Structure 1
Amino acid sequence: MTLIRHLVEGRETGSDRRTGPVFDPATGEVQREVVFATATDVETAIAAAKAALPGWRATGLIKRADVFFRLRQLLVERQDELAAIITSEHGKVLSDAAGEISRGIENVEFAAGLVHLLKGERSEQVSRGVDVHSVKQPVGVVGAITPFNFPVMVPLWMTASAIACGNTVVLKPSEKDPSAAVFLAKLYEEAGLPAGVLNVVHGDKVAVDTLLDSPDVKAVSFVGSTPVAKSIYERATANGKRVQALGGAKNHMVVMADADLDGAADAAVSAAYGSAGERCMAVSVLVAVGDHVADSLIEKVSERVAALKIGAGSDPASEMGPLITREHRDKVASYVTGAEAEGARVVIDGTTQQFDSNGFFIGVSLIDQVKPGMKVYDDEIFGPVLAVVRVETYDDAVALINANPYANGTAIFTRDGGTARRFEVDIEVGMVGVNVPIPVPVGAYSFGGWKNSLFGDSHIYGPESVHFYTRSKVVTTRWPDHTPTQVDLGFPSNH
């Protein structure tokens, strides 16, 4: 059986004394084993990153940018191969895997503009003969801890920006689908990235805690669930590190009475059930303003769900694949089976759908009459479950969303420009879509939510990533011009 090892300084390392299974979610069978890092393994990777830092930091910006231009080309050329790796370990359909790679490439393109991104500022003659300029310098070794649901896109969000800014990285991908991260690291190497600048270690809490506690790791980026994000933020900041930790979500999609209901139904099905709902930006709550809107949407969504093809992600006919593990599938199912006891109405019960495979499949579910206080509403389910909440007015919809502890993404569907603009202003959520169900920003902007969806001050990728992965230094200079000077013990003045 294939053993997936760490990649440190371009070499595969790690013993097989402690390993974990890597499943094929479509069959339920173990297809590979992944080595779990010891603290010593992680410390070795950190040491390699630290040793590579001076050389990479001193590399010219144009030469650094060339690595990203080459990496982009390699990602395009090897996209089908990389998508197949994603599908084999995550389970998502190939088209969804290809879309993930495409969104990751956006950040590589952004990082290729590092000559512009790393420009400082200059002020001349702030005082007689005195000039001031600022520079952006790398923070050092960065720990990147990424989730299972986007095994290529999220690592590219972190590594491209961090490396472009002159840092070196130790990447700890999810142990559930680790092969894509190793593939990415090898593409970086092929693109010309020096050994040690990007290292990959696999494992569990042992690996994560070593990154969080090491004094040589200066910054940590994380994407995952809210409890883990909060724990990582608290532990890493207590150790003096800069941290961005993105947590969970409960994304609401508001549908007004004047909306194109067919278009809204299409969007709801795509956003709720795409990638089997294993997206932090998935729509999990459909907020219908008015009972007639709710009744119509339920009918239209049900019609579309009836034709949905669920199967192995490698099958071109499949529109939705399995969940990542058997345990997660069972947990998702428990929300559906327990919904009626809490007072909700299960319109479509995906737990009853039968499949010919032993894979981790589940059908899609639609649940009506959902209210805050029910588990199906309060928890981030991370599966193909869409809850319908009925409200009477726009103000009720806004109050519902703003009261939720999560604030990652939201959307409104309406034909009224005034309502849409008001929603942009009123809503307390980090990413907002107007007639766009999954408002993930393009690479030139930054991704991140508010409240319990983000711990730390910086969003991920885009302009805020440059701020996160660099430290600003201000230099004040005066050059002798043969003008006599004298001792002055007063505080420096600009006059």
Structure 2
Amino acid sequence: MQENLSQVKKNPSLINETPKEFTKQRSSSNQNSANDNDNTQESSNLININNFDENKIQDPILNSPRSLEACQTLGILPKDLVMKKIEEIKQIMTQRKIPITTESLQNFILNFELKRIDKIEKVKKIYQEIISQENLSISQISYFNSPTKSKRKKSSLIFNQQPSLSSRNSINFNFSGVNNKNNQHQTLTQISQKSAQNSTKYNLKQLRLKRPSSFNYGSQNQIQTNQMRQSFQEFSLEINNVLVSELSHRKQSVVTIYKENKSELQQQQLKEQTYQNIQRQQQERLQKQNQAFQNIQDQQAQRNQQINEKKTQELQQQEAINHKQLLKQQIAYQKQVQTQLKQDQIQNNLQQQQTQQQQKDQNFIIQKKKKIHSIDSKKLQQYIELQKQSQENKRNKDLKLLHVQLKDEQIQQQKRIEFEEKQLSAENKVHSAQQALKEKIHDRILKSQEKNRQIHEYNTLQSTYRLQNSFGTVQNYINGKFVDSKGPLLIKNYNPATKEEVSQVHQTTQAEFNEAVDSAKIAFKEWKEVPFLTRQRFMLDLQRRLRDDMDVIAKMMVEENGKTFPDAQGDLIRGIEVVEHACGLSHISMGETFGNVTKGVDTYSYRVPLGVCAGVSAFNFPSMIPLWMFPYAITLGNTFVLKPSERVPNTVMHIAKILDQMGLPKGVFNIVNGGFDSVKQICEHPDIKAVSFVGGNNAGEYIYREGAKHGKRVQSNMGAKNHGIILPDANKEDTLNALINAGFGAAGQRCMALSTLVFVGESQNWISELKEKASKLKLGYGLDKGVDVAPLCYPELKDNVVRLINSAEKEGADIILDGRNYKNEQYPNGNFVGPTIIDNCKTDMEAYQTEIFGPVICVLRANSLKEAVEIINNNRYGNGTAIFTKCGASARYFQHHVEAGQIGINLPIPVPLPMFSFTGSKRSFDGDCNFYGKAGMRFFTQWKTITARWKEEDAENYEATTHFPTFK
């Protein structure tokens, strides 16, 4: 075959030759056909689709090596047949998506021819089997390119795979040993019968065998011989065609069955693998369930044991208490008996003394009587004798004298009895007087309390009257005066529950703002010289007045913010704590001194005020946040300009009235109302040295950026997303109550609200109980009794809260407690959103990444404390966080690894007291000094350092020098 290819390449004109003319050329090539099978491996090595040269493709049919190799492979055929075959091969290559190039076409044709030869070999094997079963022998099997009449033998059967093409290879079977007519006829009959019997096996039902009517070899003429040969040839061709089609059909069936079996096997393997996975998962689930059940049993046993121990302890404690009570009762009874015995003994003693005294008196009287009788008898005898011896007058005098003596003795006895009676009556009078005095004191206390109550009611009524008259247009407080703003109307504020109008706020003009800053700047020159203790006394007076007006201010916050009354009182109390701490700032504001740093030189530093400071407060704490700002600034010697939230201005205006009544110097404290324009004025005014801010991130970042740009000191307290971690060993009841308070208190409008909960491990079973407790909270107006959750401050805030809940639901979270559609029958227009719990919240959801600022809790789940801490650390906010556990090691790990500024352990809202500082971090705070405490003192002051030299020796004159001064 390789020689034929090279021959055609050397002589391209052979392509145009007819088959008859090219027979000699082809016959020479047929001599090497026996070696074609040996060269199959060599031909297969010629396949190289990647080698492609576009320059060789000039003419797709004739003028390229591709056509020459195709002619050699297919056999030398007429031109039209070659072109047809090449087009067929091209279509096959196109269907199989094989790129048509010179090399690819050549390799495909060679590969195709090798496969065809393999099919012919299979047909030869089948015919060998048929002939061997019929006792036939194959004497010669030749493989040639194109059979000719000259090479065909008389007693041969020719089976062409494709009879339509004379160029196809053929198989030649020569019969030997079949010489007579009967044997030949019998042989053909057996072949036809065998073919009919095996029609099912070879699918030969459609085959019609043509059997010659007679066989005459040797004695018949040449025509009969040719007819017989032709009939054999037709019969062989039909069988050959049917077998080839059957082979192709069987091959396709085998491939189809193989693919189906393979897919079924894969499906079966997949099913078995899935079944094994399900079994393994079920086993793991059963193991986990058993483990969980065992853990529950162990925990239940531990709990039962703990309960029994607690009950035993309680019983022991109760027994101890009962025993103590019995002892106390016995002691009391013994004391009572002893006192009763003492009283009885005293009474007996008194009775005995009385009886003894009576007996003594009686004896004394008897003796006196006896004495008198004896004296009388003697006197009578004497008298008789004297009658006889003296005169009658002398006897009368003696009688009178004895009568006087007896009378005196009786009088003394009577006085002694009266004295004892007076002593007894005096003791009784003292006791009664003490009782009367106690009753008088009690009556006076009651009258004083009643009077104080009446005074308080009067003050409350008076303050309420002032409160009612204060609603309306909000004024500015500039240079010690309440003045109306000439700016445009900015906003009207309404009661969040009742929708009654509570205030109107106008935008402060630039001139009004400049006037406020100028008055503060002028006042600073005198205020900084006021003694520190005098400034502290103003704060003492302020905290007292704030406590007196606590109910009035709390009601005012309920009216404009919507808080519940107890929550409003707590708002003011946390502000008063900072005012009280400002009264003692002197001990943390002290400077530093280093004496004699070198000979005759002392260095000391002390803190001095900055000048005019400003504050921008938020709506959620109308009194607390302003009281976190200006008391420190004013006490430390600064003057202050405050811009309260335009939504809650009345509370701060009432505090300004208190400062005005106290007699605070003009210009020390000023209030300017407004919106963004006022904030911009504060950031850009050159005389303002420091700005304190509380609010959202957008406004906070703007103030920090613009304030720093204009050279101001800024503390910016911004948004938060506080997380709480709940471990399974926590006290469940206390923890759930704390979570309800921290999540839904103030309707979630707190920068320290615990709005995100991470339940670890088995504590996830507590979520249903959390939902149950939250569903029992009562919503309503803040002044009504028993209200737990108040409305949101303004309608836009409610809309944003509902929007974030909707986004969480769309992103796949579960709203297990939904408060979006809550309606209050008594206040249908209120800004109410009921308690809402978003379960299965993910960290990429908008509701998790955004501060919701409403009564909404996002619930996440974690398998370990480490995973929960990583969730917190990956959040951009860092205001505060909390953990609930009984394990000290877990709490210590939490406080050392969590990234947050304020940490609570078994405490949901870790807002520090004023002796510390409010230390938010990450994107919750911008600046370097936090609120109140030492950090707050540093924010409103700056260092001043003095180095002084005082020589001990007399002053001497030295020559002037120009070198840098140094200490020696």
- Which amino acid in structure 2 is aligned with residue 328 of structure 1? L
Residue 49 (structure 1) aligned with residue 523 (structure 2) = no
Check whether the contact 1:142–1:217 (CA below 8 A) recurs between aligned residues: yes
Residue 351 (structure 1) aligned with residue 800 (structure 2) = no
Q: Match of 1:7? A: 477
Q: Match of 1:478? A: 949
TM-superposed deviation, 1:190: 2.5
TM-superposed deviation, 1:339: 1.6
Alignment deviations for residues 278-315 of structure 1 (CA, whole Å, 9 cap, x no partner): 0000011001111x31221x122112112211100111
Q: Which has the higher helix share?
A: 2
Residue 331 (structure 1) aligned with residue 800 (structure 2) = yes
Q: Match of 1:426? A: 897
Q: Distance in 2 between matches of 1:27 and 1:15?
A: 29
Alignment deviations for residues 188-236 of structure 1 (CA, whole Å, 9 cap, x no partner): 2233321211101111011111111000101000000112111110001
Q: Match of 2:635? A: 164
Q: Which has the higher strand share?
A: 1
Residues 419 and 487 (structure 1), Cα distance of their counterparts in 2 relative to 1, 3 Å cut: farther
Q: Distance in 2 between matches of 1:160 and 1:458?
A: 16
TM-superposed deviation, 1:36: 1.7
Q: Match of 1:295? A: 765
Q: Distance in 2 between matches of 1:104 and 1:488?
A: 58
Check whether the contact 1:6–1:35 (CA below 8 A) recurs between aligned residues: no
- Which amino acid in structure 2 is aligned with residue 294 of structure 1? Q
1:174 to 641, 645, 670: 645
TM-superposed deviation, 1:182: 0.9
2:778 to 309, 315, 318: 309
2:705 to 215, 228, 234: 234
Check whether the contact 2:755–2:856 (CA below 8 A) recurs between aligned residues: yes
Q: Match of 2:593? A: 122
| Structure 2: gaps spanning 5 or more residues | 1-470
Q: Match of 1:73? A: 544
- Which amino acid in structure 1 is aligned with residue 894 of structure 2? F
Check whether the contact 1:446–1:461 (CA below 8 A) recurs between aligned residues: yes
- Which amino acid in structure 1 is aligned with residue 932 of structure 2? Y
Check whether the contact 2:487–2:509 (CA below 8 A) recurs between aligned residues: no
Check whether the contact 2:558–2:564 (CA below 8 A) recurs between aligned residues: yes
TM-superposed deviation, 1:461: 1.1
Q: Which moved further from structure 2: 113-122 or 240-249?
A: 113-122
Q: Distance in 1 between matches of 2:928 and 2:773?
A: 40
Q: 1:86-485 residue pairs with structure 2 within 5 A?
A: 86-290=557-761, 292-296=762-766, 298-356=767-825, 357=827, 358-481=829-952, 482=954, 484=956
Q: Distance in 2 between matches of 1:107 and 1:488?
A: 54
Identity %: 39
- Which amino acid in structure 2 is aligned with residue 50 of structure 1? K
Q: Match of 2:529? A: 58
Q: Distance in 2 between matches of 1:490 and 1:433?
A: 58
Q: Distance in 1 between matches of 2:711 and 2:488?
A: 33
1:372 aligned counterpart, secondary structure: coil
Residues 428 and 493 (structure 1), Cα distance of their counterparts in 2 relative to 1, 3 Å cut: farther
TM-superposed deviation, 1:486: 6.1
Alignment deviations for residues 247-292 of structure 1 (CA, whole Å, 9 cap, x no partner): 10000000111111221111111001000000000011001111x3
| Structure 1: gaps spanning 5 or more residues | none
- Which amino acid in structure 1 is aligned with residue 551 of structure 2? D
- Which amino acid in structure 2 is aligned with residue 38 of structure 1? T
Q: Distance in 2 between matches of 1:88 and 1:161?
A: 28
1:350 aligned counterpart, secondary structure: coil
Give the TM-score taking structure 1 as reference length.
0.97
Q: Distance in 2 between matches of 1:116 and 1:188?
A: 25
Q: Distance in 2 between matches of 1:3 and 1:199?
A: 17
- Which amino acid in structure 2 is aligned with residue 329 of structure 1? K
Check whether the contact 2:487–2:508 (CA below 8 A) recurs between aligned residues: no
- Which amino acid in structure 2 is aligned with residue 209 of structure 1? K
TM-superposed deviation, 1:395: 0.6
Q: Distance in 1 between matches of 2:726 and 2:737?
A: 12
Q: Distance in 1 between matches of 2:835 and 2:963?
A: 73
Alignment deviations for residues 393-432 of structure 1 (CA, whole Å, 9 cap, x no partner): 1111111111111000000101011111121111111111
Check whether the contact 2:489–2:504 (CA below 8 A) recurs between aligned residues: no
Q: Distance in 1 between matches of 2:562 and 2:919?
A: 25
Q: Distance in 1 between matches of 2:775 and 2:523?
A: 54
Alignment deviations for residues 434-491 of structure 1 (CA, whole Å, 9 cap, x no partner): 0000000001111131111011111111110110000101100011322656656554
Larger radius of gyration: 2
Q: Distance in 1 between matches of 2:491 and 2:814?
A: 39
Q: Which moved further from structure 2: 331-340 or 161-170?
A: 331-340
Alignment deviations for residues 48-72 of structure 1 (CA, whole Å, 9 cap, x no partner): 1111111111111111010011011
- Which amino acid in structure 1 is aligned with residue 948 of structure 2? T
Alignment deviations for residues 340-362 of structure 1 (CA, whole Å, 9 cap, x no partner): 21111110001122212211111
Check whether the contact 2:564–2:782 (CA below 8 A) recurs between aligned residues: yes
2:910 aligned counterpart, secondary structure: coil
Check whether the contact 2:486–2:509 (CA below 8 A) recurs between aligned residues: no
TM-superposed deviation, 1:317: 1.8
Alignment deviations for residues 76-133 of structure 1 (CA, whole Å, 9 cap, x no partner): 1110001011111000001001001110011101111132232111111100010011
Q: Distance in 2 between matches of 1:274 and 1:492?
A: 64
Q: Distance in 2 between matches of 1:188 and 1:478?
A: 44
Q: Distance in 2 between matches of 1:417 and 1:494?
A: 55
Alignment deviations for residues 362-408 of structure 1 (CA, whole Å, 9 cap, x no partner): 10100110111101111000100001010111111111111111000
Q: Distance in 2 between matches of 1:268 and 1:197?
A: 42
TM-superposed deviation, 1:28: 2.4
Q: Which moved further from structure 2: 17-26 or 369-378?
A: 17-26
2:820 aligned counterpart, secondary structure: helix
Q: Distance in 1 between matches of 2:823 and 2:679?
A: 38
- Greater RCO (Cα-Cα under 8 Å, separation 6 or more): 1
Check whether the contact 2:617–2:626 (CA below 8 A) recurs between aligned residues: yes
2:622 aligned counterpart, secondary structure: coil
After superposing on structure 2, the runs of 4+ consecutive aligned residues of structure 1 that deviate more than 4 Å are 483-495
TM-superposed deviation, 1:162: 0.7
- Which amino acid in structure 2 is aligned with residue 3 of structure 1? T
- Which amino acid in structure 1 is aligned with residue 507 of structure 2? F
Q: Distance in 2 between matches of 1:205 and 1:16?
A: 14
Check whether the contact 1:27–1:360 (CA below 8 A) recurs between aligned residues: no
Check whether the contact 2:791–2:830 (CA below 8 A) recurs between aligned residues: yes
